[in-house]
Amino acid sequence: GMSGGIDSALVLELAVRALGAKNILAIAMPYRESSPLSLELAQQGADKAGCEFSVIDISPLADAYFAQHPELGEGDTEAARLRRGNVFSRLRMTALYDQSAAVNGLVFGTSNKTELLLGYGTQHGDMASAINPIGDLYKSQVVALSRHLGVPSAIIDRPPSADLWQGQTDEEELGFSYDAVDALLYAIVEQRLSNNELLEKGFEQSFIDLINLRVQRNQYKRRPPLIAKVTGRTVNLDYRYARDWGT
């Protein structure tokens, strides 16, 4: 799925390098209020990669649902915008999985490590995929690798946005910059620094608490659904294959 942003552009670049352009289908799925620049940059990324590019307009699908829920389609509250954004994200994933079935392919994920840790994504929407090449890369690492691999600068330099509503940007919605949160997450996750050590490095206690809470509260997005345990061997708990491929 091509959004016109850096994450999907980098995933496309990696996929083409690994599998060859002829084996990759890039799909843009705009809504009628999406930024025209998003579609333009998605096309630009696909052209550079040399792969097939397709556009699926999700407007009729989304509008049909919004027509049944006017408070959602017309509402301008934060809750309504969030719900609308989740609808867009899940419709796009529905289209991607259907198209992957049509070509007997796999859906590539485009959520980076920063987004996964913060839960900044839609469950069963943009967070769903069969394989995610950048899920262990922080946003700042995504930027650095994109520059190294030659992702178009117009995509790299564009302010990150999920393009879920007009004028939306990631950092404005999150309330902090990716550079700031990446530095803290790296210190917490990779360096395993204690709270006192984080303070000594100059992080504010309020910021530490905010990020720790957000990571904890969004753990549910990073794990399979909870299953009520009834038997002695429950799927994903007591009963797990050592490997998931046949021999």
Q: What is the dihedral of CA 159, 175, 194, 196, to 10 degrees?
A: 120
pLDDT digit string (tens) for 114-169?
999 999 999 999 999 999 999 999 999 999 999 999 999 999 998 877 776 666 77
Residue 229: inside a domain: no
Mean pLDDT calculated for residue range 19-23: 97
Residue 124: inside a domain: yes
Residue 236: inside a domain: no
pLDDT band at 242 (very low <50, low <70, confident <90, very high): low
Domain count, the chain: 1
Q: How far are the Cα atoms of 67, 87, 165, 205, 221 from residue 84, in angstroms, in the given order? A: 12, 5, 8, 33, 19
Q: In this predicted model, which residue has the larger pLDDT, 56 or 171?
A: 56
What's the pLDDT at 170?
Answer: 78
What's the pLDDT at 9?
Answer: 96
Residue 169: inside a domain: yes
pLDDT band at 238 (very low <50, low <70, confident <90, very high): confident
CATH of the domain at 196: 3.40.50.620
Residue 235: inside a domain: no
pLDDT digit string (tens) for 40-83?
999 999 999 999 999 999 999 999 999 999 888 676 788 888 89
Give the whole-angstrom CA distance, residue 115 versus residue 103.
29
pLDDT digit string (tens) for 204-227?
999 999 999 999 999 999 998 889
Can you give the residue range of the structural domain that contains 10? 6-222
Residue 159: inside a domain: yes
The pTM score is 0.90
Residue 228: inside a domain: no
DSSP reduced 3-state for 27: strand
Residue 242: inside a domain: no
